[in-house]
Chains A and B, each alone.
Chain A
Amino acid sequence: MKVIAIIGSPKGMQGYTGALVAPLLNALQQEGIDTDMFSLSDLTVLPCKGCQNVCHVTGACHQKDDFEKVKQAMLAADGIIFATPNYTLQVSAQMKALIDRCNLLLHCQQLRGKYGAVVVTSGGSDPEVVVNYLNTVMTMQGLWRVGDVSAVRAQFGDDDEKANLMKAAADLGKRMAAAIKNKETFPGQDEERNQGFEIMKFMVMMLKDEWPFAWDYWNTHWDLTE
């Protein structure tokens, strides 16, 4: 069983975002889950070029950078942690480039059934808007949301608050480990998750002639008559 963390902070594990990811990964390891970490600041993941959906035809993006490596790790993982600082009330551009490249994964629902968690840190404003965005990104791809942990910078300056944050991150790691081991489901998320599934199904059926890879993937992985 494996969980990977994708870190959209330019400071990797050295920043506040990394400081919250560390106890989360530690907790997962203590529960016997293998972990891996992909810091986007050490990788090259370019923006989606909006080409005529080559990935939907062939199954892979034609841009030769590190995306394929991260994608294969996501596909192989049982759980994915999306961690980012709040920049302009959204995920960082590094994280957004990675997310945009997941276009085929979304349309094919290739991450459906995996477990997701979110880590967001913010300079001063409420990180909630970014947490909500990443929750949407996960739900529409069919991941089960295990939870999130977020903080504003000032909380790291207070010993008690910092300790609480570290504990919250570790607790999230434990919950994520349990969810994976017990194959938990979260019925409260079904409606939204299924809405995403239906939208993508509709899209792929509509574009089946232009998107042979996506159409074939749906035919071999999901029940199109649902």
Chain B
Amino acid sequence: MGSPRKNGNSTVLSKQIVEGALAAGARVESFYLHKMKISPCTACDKCHKADDRFCVIKDDMQKLYPKIIAADGLILASPIYFFTVSAQLKLFMDRCYALGGPGGYQFKGKKIAIALTYGDVDPFRSGAVNAMRTFQDAFAYVEADIAGYVYGTGLEQGEIAKNKALMKDAFDLGKILAGG
């Protein structure tokens, strides 16, 4: 979850995906990126050398790498800041470079669900389309499958919960993610 707010709209929306996945029998663990210490990638490229395929930066990303590798699916959530994902989620995404190497990326075959929220009126003006374009191409590159997107408007903290149709879509996306 890439919102700096604990109960931000993107978090609320992603929790519905979690509920759907749980209902379909999946086990789910949640991580709030803003509360974790994740430094920027330094482009040292050590992770892509054949003899050392892990990131040398010792921070909270080290907790996430094994979780990502072990997971069958990932839910990513972000508010739209400045026409794309938040810097918090971007820090995480850049560091996922370390999950690649000569044999491809550890994302291969995993299913991805994405929740995006924004203050503006639609996905075009808000720039959510930029985030979706990035996810579409980046996850295709690492051979992961995007199970679906949910996105909507919410400015006041948590107000997205009032959008019942969207909350149902998010729940259903969770079920799809879990293979239900």
Contact = CB atoms under 8 A, between A and B. Distances in A.
Interface of A: 9-11, 15, 41, 47-51, 85, 87-94, 96-97, 99-100, 102-103, 106, 125, 129, 133, 136-137, 140, 199
B93 A93 contact: yes
Interface stretch (B20-28, B79-87, B146-154, B164-172): B79-87
Instruction: State the 5 A-B residue pairs at the shortest beta-carbon distance, nearest first.
Output: A47-B87, A50-B4, A97-B87, A93-B90, A93-B91
Contacts of B138: 88-89
Given A100-B81, A106-B82, A129-B133, A93 B43 contact: no
B73 interface: no
Given A88-B93, A88-B94, A136-B127, A93 B40 contact: yes
Contacts of A92: 40-41, 90, 94
Q: How large is the interface on B (under 10, 10 to 19, 20 to 34, 35 or more residues)?
A: 20 to 34
A34 B43 CA distance: 30
Interface in B51-90: 79, 81-88, 90
A49 B43 CA distance: 25
Contact of B4 (A47, A91, A199): A47
A96 B137 contact: no
Contacts of B46: none
Interface of B: 3-5, 8, 34, 40-43, 79, 81-88, 90-91, 93-94, 96-97, 120, 125, 127, 130, 133-134, 137-138, 141
Contacts of B130: 90, 133, 136
Contacts of A89: 133-134, 137-138
B34 A9 contact: no
Contact of B34 (A47, A93, A99): A47
A106 B120 CA distance: 14
B3 A50 contact: yes
Nearest to B95: A93
A91 B131 CA distance: 11
A51 B91 CA distance: 19
Nearest to B33: A47
Contact of A85 (B43, B91, B137): B43
A11 to B, nearest CB: 6
A95 B130 CA distance: 16
B19 to A, nearest CB: 23
Contacts of A49: 4, 34
17 contacts: A41-B40, A47-B34, A47-B86, A49-B4, A90-B130, A96-B84, A97-B40, A97-B91, A99-B81, A100-B82, A100-B86, A102-B82, A103-B82, A129-B133, A129-B137, A136-B127, A199-B125
Residue picked from B3, B81, B125, B134, most chain A C-beta under 10 Å: B81
